[in-house]
Amino acid sequence: MENCEQIYLQKTLSCLESKLKDCKARLSLARKHLKKGMAEYNDEYGDLSRGGDLSNAFAHLGAIEENLLDLEREERKIATQIKSPYFARIDFKPNGKKKTQQIYIGIGNVLDGEKLYVADWRAPVSSMYYDFNVGEASFKIGEDEYRGNIELKRQYKIENSSLISYFDTELTINDEILQDILSKNVSTKMKQIVSSIQKEQNTLVRNGNLENVLVQGVAGSGKTSIALHRAAYLLYRYKKQIKSNDICIISPNNIFSSYISEVLPQLGEDNLVETTFAQIARAELKKPIQPRENMLDEIATNPTQKMLNEISYKSSYEYLDDLLRFLKGAFIETYSPKTLSFVVSENMVGEKETISFSAEQTKELFFKTFKGYDLYERINKIAWQYAMYFTERRHYNKEQNRGLKERFKKILYKFLPIRDIERVFEIFMAREGFEIPKGKSVAYMDKGAYLVIKHFIYGFDHDFSAKYLIIDEMQDFTPVDIYAFKKLWHCPMIVLGDVNQCIEKNVTDEYLGLTADFLGCKLIELKKTYRSTKQIALFANRLVGLNDIEFVNRNGQEPYVIETAGQSKAILNLIENECGEYDHIAIICKCNKEARELYKQLKTLLDCKLLQEPEDYEHRVLIATCATAKGIEFDAVIVPNATRENYHNTIDKNIIYVSATRALHKLFFVANDTPCHFLQSLEHKKV
């Protein structure tokens, strides 16, 4: 049996190596063509630029470059496949057929003529590997369903083109494979999970309809991996309609963006368009935005009741309703047009021909005809109507008409007494009984409101269009932010988050339902965690009262608390004696000030790095805040200053929960005074 498997692997590798050789030859030829085309273009540029048509030359070069990029992508994918061409096999006997089909499954098809050595994991037939145990199974291609029996399920471990091991299983994904994957050390980049996708995850990944989905998943349930593998699936299924640059992912921060940057390339696809909501707001408002980390610092270190009340209000649908009611009511009612009169000609005796638009005419259009539109749309429509009237009377061409419309827009905006976005926001907040802090930057909690006001008055300056949208860490966004998303994008989306990881506010099931309805999303909950050991998961779940969470039964060391007068030495001992085999260790602090102070104390004792930029994550020992560690995982986590004085309220409990759920294998708390009461259930060791 093993000999047969070795032979099949060698045949598959031989096929791939032949394809790689052919791809390299085509790539070399394409590069020569591009070089030759560039030389010819440069030689002819002088003639072409003097009245010649440059479009054909540009199109020719563009086609060569596009072909070159496709070949480079193909080369990368084949090289990846050679290292591990497949990870599973199913033997499937279709109903009514005598012959059993052996289907090997990998990250991409391996085809030699009519011989299919490996099926892409995204192919319809491959779905049976994820969805069925040995026995009756089926798959669909379009509306057609194919039924039969899975007679064998086999899983492989292939590394660097060598077959390490394989074994048969009756289960969907054998626990031994999953345990092996989960027990490994963390890498500096998130890995693809095609060999271990679980049934409930596969349902989300392969959802054939481009419908809106909101995923509430507990920490470690694989939310981000699901979203990225869904993107890869869509690129496979809709390859003619959707390209990688048509899919946009909204990440929590640049460190997280870097962390997930290798998943799609590992699957043979190009990376998506990535940005953060703060970057979008900064581009539209042309003002700096307060980082979320700074906002969390404020509420973690000095949470006044006034501040918490304001955050609670701004995180509610009531706040969104109040803002929209203000914009569409009191604010828009201030629009006060005047009569516009333009002299278009004057004869020899001084008689003037004028075109006039009365104040009443503009009011009628603004407040009645175009009543259902945002302010900028009303002005656009009135400006276009007035410009067209001029065009018909004066026989203007299209270009003159376009310029005239822009002039009318400027005039019509002048009838709005207050047009500054910040001033409009100040007035709204004053009406609601709040003040806004003066400064050059927009407060983190206010960026969504600024964008909503900007869109209502002026529309957006940039085109953020996409064909599919991924919004991660949904719990960090407010209803006003989500309303802005709806104005920014008009495409299907998958929205992912965990309400239990919301630090600054409590999010209820009712809020989840409202958000799903507001976005037109189907709400799906994932209650199984794959990240942490059983011991870490149980502690974290008890902390926030989660009693119905499932977890992989991967045993490990119980988390514990160290009580010590020498915190720095205790941390050093933990890293040297308890974490020696681990590649990535995080010391997660409550706030930036605490992280900076601890870094000063530890940098002379051990090689560590303050996590501030994406490249910092390459370091083995990192000092981070809860906010900068968002969405990332580590082999071991140490939470310092875990004292009653430092961690005592609900916000502090949320910070501990998020910090604890970053850990895969080991979790420690260090207290240089009385430990906080959230850790009462853990063993305490005095050092």
Give residue 193's pLDDT. 82
Gap between the Cα atoms of 261 and 256, Å rounded: 9
Strands 585-589 and 621-625: parallel
Residues of the chain scoring pLDDT < 70: 1, 40-60, 171-183, 345-346, 394-398
Report how far apart, in Å, the C-alpha atoms of 63 and of each of 32, 67, 246 are: 14, 6, 19
Give residue 327's pLDDT. 97
Helix (H, G, I), strand (E, B), or coil: what is residue 491?
Answer: coil
Q: Which helix (H) or strand (E) holds 230?
A: helix 223-237
Give residue 486's pLDDT. 94
Chain position carrying tokens 């008009």: 490
- Write the single-letter amino acid at 116: L
Pair 518, 212: CB distance under 8 Å: no
- Write the single-letter amino acid at 602: L
Gap between the Cα atoms of 514 and 517, Å rounded: 5
Gap between the Cα atoms of 66 and 75, Å rounded: 14
pLDDT per position as a tens digit, 18-32: 999 999 999 998 888
By residue count, the chain amounts to 687
Report how far apart, in Å, the C-alpha atoms of 72 and of each of 189, 192, 247, 290 are: 22, 21, 21, 40
CB atoms within 10 A of CB 75: 16
Pair 664, 533: CB distance under 8 Å: yes
Gap between the Cα atoms of 522 and 544, Å rounded: 26
Gap between the Cα atoms of 337 and 35, Å rounded: 61
Give residue 57's pLDDT. 61
Give residue 547's pLDDT. 87
Gap between the Cα atoms of 578 and 668, Å rounded: 10
Residues 6+ apart with CB under 8 A from 78: 16, 19, 20, 23
To the nearest 5 percent, what fractions of the chain are helix, strand and coil?
50, 20, 35
Average pLDDT over the chain, rounded to an integer: 89
Gap between the Cα atoms of 76 and 54, Å rounded: 33
Q: Which residues pair with 88 in a beta bridge?
A: 105, 155
Show the tokens assigned to 658.
Answer: 């998020």
Show the tokens assigned to 609.
Answer: 């790095």
CA-based torsion, 234, 235, 236, 242: positive or negative: positive
Q: Which residues pair with 640 in a beta bridge?
A: none
Pair 270, 264: CB distance under 8 Å: yes
Give residue 539's pLDDT. 96
Give the angle subtended at the CA of 678 by the CAs of 675 and 681, to the nearest 5°: 90
pTM of the model: 0.89
Pair 556, 535: CB distance under 8 Å: yes
CB atoms within 10 A of CB 21: 11
Give residue 167's pLDDT. 86
Maximum pairwise Cα distance, the chain: 108
CA 655 centroid distance within chain? 22
CB atoms within 10 A of CB 144: 8
Q: Which helix (H) or strand (E) holds 573?
A: helix 567-573
